[in-house]
Copies of this chain bind each other. A is one copy, B any other.
Amino acid sequence: MLENKDQSRTSLEELGEFGLINHLTEHFKITHKTTLKGIGDDAAVLSFPDTQIVVTTDLLIEGVHFDLSYVPLKHLGYKAVMVNLSDVYAMNAMASQITVSIAVSNRFPLEALEDLYVGIQTACTNYKVDLIGGDTTSSTTGLVISVTAIGNTTKEKIVGRDTAKAGDLVVVTGDIGAAYMGLQVLEREKAVFKVNPNSQPDLEQYAYIVERQLKPEARKDVVLLLESLEVLPTSMIDISDGLSSEILHLCKNSKVGCNLYEEKIPLDPQVINTCEEFELDSTTIALSGGEDYELLFTIRQEDYPKIKANPNFTVVGHMTEEREGAHLITRANTKIPLIARGWNALQSE
């Protein structure tokens, strides 16, 4: 009997994160005319007279999203805010307020939480957002951080995931893959430390990629830059789960295909060197690495002259008709289907 019972139950792994959200929320109806966008984009959008409010939230769990054995609490506080602001900027909106809730066990002294809040405050100051609320409670085990970010903009400026067109250029900001390789270096140091607690790690040659992992920056500057260049992207998303997963979100939501060119993917030399050292393929890392918090967006071809000279932007491909599918064009000029593999999938390999 117990066995039968188990067989009739569905495990969460079978569905995956996106499948789970869709499954659990598919029967919910939107009833307010102020709810312009609900679940399914980087952030929800509420429409009020003269103002669009953007809302996004993330839940960070110790042991799942961060490992306090190598993540300083200041950086964790900073990153927890960045992860959310990044979603607001991915809507082409300006972040203005956050709420922060934490659950914490008694093993944390006050001084640890002060460090966490120094990081949160630094993020608030650097990005000019106000902390407006939250909840502080106890936890039975580790640290839990829940951040909700609120932004606003005007109706014409909101950029979603579902408005890319075939022929649009695909643009990536900065470079990608670094945050994932930074994590690999930190994980290796942790393993070394376990064996020899007196080891002194020399992370200087990995400074950039470790900083990208521990203290990412959300691309507020890109939203402001696009505005000053008078470029309104046709679709946008932030790169939290790896380039392939994000580009496939744009394709699926916009009902288009894409050609992504391997040789165009922007990589920092430190990522290339560290990939060689770890015997990892740098393209795979860029496609599936995640946590870069760069922006991925599409623009009309006629806007290309406005962005082409800017070192912040790299055109990595173009959108195609939906029936053509989503492909990576390799350096050897072979065309292979893009598949979504978030960094969680990558880690379990």
Contacts and interface: CB of A to CB of B under 8 A. Distances in A.
Interface of A: 9-15, 17, 20-21, 23-25, 27-32, 34-35, 37-39, 43-44, 46, 48-51, 53, 55-59, 61-65, 96-97, 99, 101-104, 106, 108-111, 113-114, 117, 121, 124-125, 128-142, 144, 146, 148, 150, 152
Contact of A28 (B44, B58, B121): B121
A314 B258 CA distance: 65
Given A64-B140, A106-B12, A131 B28 contact: yes
A135 B12 contact: no
Contacts of A48: 48, 50-51, 53, 152
Contact of A59 (B11, B101, B129): B101
A52 to B, nearest CB: 10
Nearest to A50: B49
Contacts of A28: 121, 124, 130-131
Contacts of A51: 48-49, 51
A55 B54 CA distance: 12
Contacts of A152: 34, 48
A61 B139 contact: yes
Contacts of A63: 140
Contacts of A12: 104, 106, 108-110, 113, 138
B136 A20 contact: yes
A32 B96 contact: yes
A101 B139 contact: no
Contact of A57 (B61, B65, B110, B146): B146
A70 to B, nearest CB: 17
A135 B49 CA distance: 28
Contact of A103 (B23, B49, B64, B106): B64
Contacts of A65: 137
A48 to B, nearest CB: 5
A96 B125 CA distance: 30
B144 A141 contact: no
B55 A137 contact: no
Minimum-distance CB pairs A-B, first 9 = A44-B132, A10-B110, A9-B109, A146-B146, A59-B101, A63-B140, A38-B132, A44-B133, A24-B117
A58 B25 CA distance: 20
Given A110-B15, A144-B144, A133 B38 contact: yes
